[in-house]
Structure 1
Amino acid sequence: MASSPFTLAALATSAVPGLTVTALDLNEDRSGEFVSARIVGDGRDLLVRVPRTPAAEVAQSAELLSLAALAEGARAALPFAVPETLGLTRAGDSRAVVTTLLDGDRIDVEDLESDALVLQSIAETIAAIHALPTALVQQGGLPVRDAVEVRAQVARLVDRAQRTRLLPETVHHRWMEALESTALWDFAPAPVHGAFTAEVVLITDDRITGVLDWSEFSVGDPAADLAWLLAAGDEVFESVLARYAAISDTGHVGWLRARAKLYRELEVAEWLMHGVETHDQDIVSDAVAMLDRMVDRLTKLTSPSRSGRASAPRKLHNSSKRPPKRPKASPKPPRSKRSTRTACSTPTPTSSSPSTTARREPDPRTAARPRPRPTRRARRTARLRTARLRTAKLRTARLRTRRTAIPQASR
């Protein structure tokens, strides 16, 4: 596999005939799925990437089809830039792809505030993607799903999660109620990015200037591109939703909101299934812990009679009646006045008195010291790192099941 920047630069000149590389540097791939380098050629900043794994190669193939479907006319209608494929060539058993490199700053979803200026740009960006012609996706050979197919896809995921016997009854009941609602799934499908998160946007001066990672571009439910905003809190989500509804003809905003929240919850089911199918107990345990937290949250919103938790409900006594008294403990035998025990002495047990163990003071040299609590910034960094890893693995698992034709030029 190509790993040095000089090898990647050589591959770039092979992929783009006549390209002259004047500068190069290794580029940090946030997903960890590609070896990439940033090069300067013919006065432009370019990016060359080689997949590390077969799953990354599938994702790259899907993105090549998506970028090819976004013709010049469609790109002109978007208020942001999209990477442009310049060429590709063989790189061992895989391939190297050269695209234009978009410039901009990254954002973290947890940094978003309900009054941030960038929220308007987020709403306009998502609405512009959803306003693209559906025929553009169909002619590009990309997946097209109507409301019935989206609903059936969700039903299959819920059924698979239920068959693991790790899905709490509360969560299963909630998701089945959503699937049985006819009005919830009455929406007009539209072109969706499919993997829209804070990781794929580039920002300059509170405006989105570029959108990356088009490997899941398809026709589907517009609510799927809004679900990620729930990680920033309800206020941020509602603020973007209101701006989006003012721009786009979304129909009933309440059903759009409900489906976005449902998709956010279903990410836990996808995470659970990924752990089960790959036999990764750490992922399964993480998903089960997330489901338990979801149960706790849902239980607070519902009555105890409908909570449906796996554990037995706590019995509540009638407030008008006193609780039963506990039986009194048997009295201890009187202590002899002549006995003079110290903290380190142990009395010899006899047949007439029960044996006892003297209490010892802990040795300060061997006592365990309390660990310092991590700072708030450290906890936040750990959460973001875990979320990024979870998102990357989820998208890899999702793309494994998606059959995408690899362009002939890549062979």
Structure 2
Amino acid sequence: MVGMDEVVALYDDSGRPVGAAPRSRMRAENLRHAATGVVVRDPLGRVFVHRRTDTKDVYPGRYDFTAGGVLLAGEDPVDAARREAEEELGVSSPLVPLGEADYADDHTSYHAFLFETTWDGPVRLQPEEVASGEWLTLEQLAAMLDDPTVLMMPDARALLGPWLRERLADRVEPEQGWDSHTVVVEGRWVDRTPQRPDVAPRLRAETVVLPRLAPLLPVAVPVPVVVETEPLRVRHPIVPGEPCDPEALTAEDGRLVGELLQALHATPPEVYAGSEVPDGPAAYADLLEVLGAMRERVLPMLPADRRAEGARLLDEVAEPPTSRCLVHGDLGPTHVLVLDGRVHGIIDWSDMVVGDPAHDLAWTLNGTPPEFADALAAAYGVTPELRARGLLWQRLGPWFEVLGGVDFLGQEYVDSGLEGVLARL
């Protein structure tokens, strides 16, 4: 708790201690002193922004995005920063130095020692100094700083505004998928926003299901969190690895993916309960609707002598599966990550449904080397029926590309998809 009679360190213009004075005198005469500022971030990179109490001796009631305070006489800056972060917010994680700087206005004049820390625990507000607070994304914090009606601490704005802008600029857009707009944030996190309204429920479903599912699987998967609701944005730490080269997959990889699919397809219903993952009947109804669109809009694009084969494929896929379970729904080489030469993770779960288990066996059995496919089949326990239906799903794959091209992706995807449709028929 702040005391007006505590003795604080005084600093000269070169940033060195030159004496001490009671806090009350330092404030009354605006003497140059030293202070700390700690930016507290969570494991998703959000910053804790708080409002100061109305009883603070300088800038009461203002918003701040640092925890900090003045250095006491003889106090080390790192020790002071740790003390203030613990007192104000209950934060005790290791500090990363951000440098030193100077600030002065009509109310305060000090040499600043700045730090950053990542805190994964509960925040405990000091009632004498902190009125309220919440975790905000850098974009939300920047909007506050840019809004002249928001009473923000001027020293935090001046000293750490450049830090904020530098990190906001650290955004990389990889090759984009069909459903979500993806951004790599600060080289540590992946942000996704829906490209179409129908994708939003799928992203929200991931934030419910994947945290429950991750401990049940033998490979790494994203664990996304909603970081903004309007517009929707979800974020997860980067899953290490690179998209696999199918020809480099080994029997050991096949065994691991077989075990993964076995665990995934045995997922108990409580894992996806309460989510927006389409359940069995809803997923089957959606499939029939998609197959109807393919029959109406893709089938007429095939050469006349190939349409009967195409219609037969659509009929066979439309047959209800004998069992339904939680499936990934889009397993392919871009979504299987390898690290150090071995399968390490599975990403992009936005097509997750309670549906036909053979869907996940399409590419894994029919687009991979024999040694991988055989090991997967043995580890999973693939039956002749599943193998046959997996081949149907593999043949259907390019039809989705054609339909997507017609709907929103463009003629390039239509042409590429049609080539694949004819090759797989």
Report the TM-score, using the length of structure 1 for normalisation: 0.53
Between the two proteins, what is the percent identity of the paired residues?
A: 22
Distance 2:414 2:226 in 1: 40
Q: 2:218 aligns with which of 79, 87, 93?
A: 79
Q: Deviations over 1:237-264 (max 9, x none)?
A: 6414422433xxx6xx222112111112
- Map of 1:186-265 to 2, 5 A cutoff? 186-205=321-340, 207-229=342-364, 232-233=367-368, 235-236=370-371, 238-246=373-381, 253-265=383-395
Distance 1:118 1:222 in 2: 19
The answer for the alignment partner of 2:300 in structure 1 is 164
* SS of residue in 1 equivalent to 2:280: coil
Distance 1:264 1:227 in 2: 4
**1:69 pairs with 2:209:** yes
Stretches (4+) displaced over 6 A: 18-23
The question of whether the paired residues in 1 share the 8 Å contact of 2:402 and 2:417 is answered with: yes
For CA contacts below 8 A with separation 6 or more, give which structure has more relative contact order: 1
The answer for the alignment partner of 2:176 in structure 1 is 31
Cα displacement (A) at 1:193: 0.9
Distance 1:140 1:10 in 2: 22
Distance 2:185 2:313 in 1: 49
2:302 maps to a residue whose letter is L
The question of whether the paired residues in 1 share the 8 Å contact of 2:335 and 2:348 is answered with: yes
2:238 maps to a residue whose letter is L
Cα distance change, pair 159–125 in 1 and its aligned pair in 2 (3 A): same
**1:88 pairs with 2:227:** yes
The question of whether the paired residues in 2 share the 8 Å contact of 1:89 and 1:95 is answered with: yes
Q: 1:17 aligns with which of 135, 149, 170?
A: 135
Cα displacement (A) at 1:192: 0.3
Alignment coverage as a number of residue pairs:
269
Distance 1:122 1:193 in 2: 12
The answer for the alignment partner of 1:132 in structure 2 is 267
Cα displacement (A) at 1:77: 1.9
2:176 maps to a residue whose letter is S
Q: List alignment gaps of at least 5 residues for structure 2.
A: 1-42, 50-133, 139-162
Cα displacement (A) at 1:276: 3.6
Cα displacement (A) at 1:152: 3.7
* SS of residue in 2 equivalent to 1:187: coil
**1:49 pairs with 2:191:** yes
Cα distance change, pair 236–161 in 1 and its aligned pair in 2 (3 A): farther
The answer for the alignment partner of 2:38 in structure 1 is none
The answer for the alignment partner of 1:382 in structure 2 is none
Mean alpha-carbon deviation: is it higher for 207-216 or for 126-135? 207-216
Cα displacement (A) at 1:126: 1.7
Superposed CA RMSD in Å reads 4.1
Cα distance change, pair 88–278 in 1 and its aligned pair in 2 (3 A): closer
Cα distance change, pair 185–227 in 1 and its aligned pair in 2 (3 A): same
The question of whether the paired residues in 2 share the 8 Å contact of 1:78 and 1:129 is answered with: yes
Distance 1:267 1:36 in 2: 26
Bigger fraction of residues in strand: 2
Cα displacement (A) at 1:49: 1.8
The question of whether the paired residues in 1 share the 8 Å contact of 2:204 and 2:276 is answered with: no
Distance 1:152 1:61 in 2: 19
1:259 maps to a residue whose letter is R
Cα distance change, pair 171–258 in 1 and its aligned pair in 2 (3 A): farther
* SS of residue in 1 equivalent to 2:47: helix
- Map of 1:270-349 to 2, 5 A cutoff? 270-278=400-408, 280-294=410-424
The question of whether the paired residues in 2 share the 8 Å contact of 1:87 and 1:99 is answered with: no
The question of whether the paired residues in 1 share the 8 Å contact of 2:366 and 2:391 is answered with: no
Cα displacement (A) at 1:136: 2.8
1:88 maps to a residue whose letter is V
Distance 1:277 1:95 in 2: 22
